[in-house]
Structure 1
């Protein structure tokens, strides 16, 4: 229900000047508003002079006449003192004189029918509670998290509504019986996007806490409908893991949800029941990929509670048999795709899916190229255009077929293995796409630019 509140400056439907009233020396001019708790409406009904030594009890009949009530109707009276920065609206003792209640010329008195048994059936049963509501009233635009640009619905709420109040009203709007399955995410006023982290269950006290962003107040909230109650879900850790085949192609994306104290090994065991493997004894590993580079192979014992999949891509893949037991003459190297801008020859852009490759100490580039072509299944007419380079901190050193690849990777661990890699230079023919592994947290895949 949309509440109505009419300010003192807009008392009349037509802005005609008020006719002056005759007054005596001890008269006080008071203005009156009538509150209807059923309609949630506060409106101007009139003005009159009263004697400073008189009492509200003396004018109840006149107030009933202004309101259109029966003459015997019992009334409650309140003085509307101020609205900002806080509401001040005080109960008026009907037996005390106007002077004793410190009422003066121009003061506003709000009145309503006295309560009977029906007080509890109104959202805002009296004038002070209604004014508090009006001051804190906020229309909030609710959007589905997966559709962050489209309003799903709007609700008129109070900034003083509690966390439970808000999710209950959202659940009611969605005809959802369990409000605890609603998860809300605040709005970033600067990026005009959802914030990365959702609001925890009862993690804020009031609606105002949900809407504030630094020194700005938003009017947007994003929502999700969960398959589990949020308190239960918060005891779990959700990870989005992309499963890739031997050609490094993404096959499927899986949302793995386990207790926070679970390990990477537990994630792998869960994945094995969801993906197609080469055999019953196949082993998996999980990699951390960012900007088309591999930054980490997660140990099986690492706790998933500490893993961040908000900005990093988690990739699962089978471990090739020849990589399971590396010999002293073998080395596991990083292999990345890259291009160079024709107009700026010193700029390197990585793209595509990075991968590991086992090379032998005496293996030439010619042999390595054959294995790469077989792994990626690149046609001859395309592969012949590819160039191969050793890159260290973004600086390419082009290789010849006779070069021994492994020699370039010896004693190169100062800046991290991901910055020393075998680069495959060729055109990026893959269609451009926004790859959102975590669909609710807005992770985007972009090329990285490195300048010499």
Structure 2
């Protein structure tokens, strides 16, 4: 996540645009089990009397829910002239969550090359209080609970939905109201739309922008590159880096990035990143491996910063991304305080146990008490009880936040993704609560209000 505010860069050096936008998994199929199914189709598109409406709702009431097999389908229902069904994994699809999908019921009998486009939402009904029903939209469940998703169904992707729909602990908790008397009620709202011809879609015409091609597992890199490209000051600084006619893009990161940015700006179709990854020294195998986006960002910026030295854009990386915080240890019973100023180019924020970005910042500046066996040795005062923490002296014009979505699981001996709900506002006010994130040395006259760029 990158959050930006208007950077106070040297206008003469960069001759910047006035358009600066930003202010500072394969399981065995088991047979169907007895259940009660109630389907209701409601035309939500218009009031025309049509035999098969393009939109409808299917309600699936399941008794003996705890006795279902690990993979289970609903009865077939028809919306928009097409046959659908709900697919669930009541104990999770290799996850500690209820997994729920919309499935094309007759996919195996469809003709070669078939496609089907639909908007849909899936709901677990709360039988105690309907307002607490859970309705989901897409696989990134960080922003909204109530909305719709859309998908182009085909032979390769005949089902689509949510592996991590809701935690099993919540689903099976009788006090929550989602499973009552071993009964669960699910709903699917489907709205069939005209098929999208992706090959005929003109991204440049529709949006003014083009995308980056995925080499295999480079979506994280593409996200980073698109973010950097859409920072006008950064883009112009890249264009101003000196290169020679003897440089080859596949062997020069600056030239490869210049070429990539130029193509993103002027091409009419999606752009390949192969020249850039070759300049990293990557082979095909590397492109199919998931790399750490934070480390990639740091290495890329270091290479660019080095190339900018002695040029008109020297110091751009620092001016855009560098902030400072103060680490402190303050004794509680004697007059002694130790401080150390450090710079940062990005901030790693905890997601586990935090509901939103502000909670993550609260945890970042949380005061730790040094006491008992963990007392602080304060030079001439010896061991003392103290408090330890960090506060911010200044934030950079472009604030880069790395969300710690993975943690090490000692039982499984592997990294596990944290799928907890996490919210972030479109505007982030780091002056909130009388500047509680700021150190005494911070300039309170500078407004630390950021607009989200993601």
Does the pair score TM above 0.5? Answer: no
TM-score by length of 2: 0.24
- Structure exhibiting the larger radius of gyration computed from Cα positions: 1
Q: Which has the higher contact order (CA 8 A, sep 6+)?
A: 2
Give TM-score, length-normalised by structure 1: 0.24
More strand by share: 1
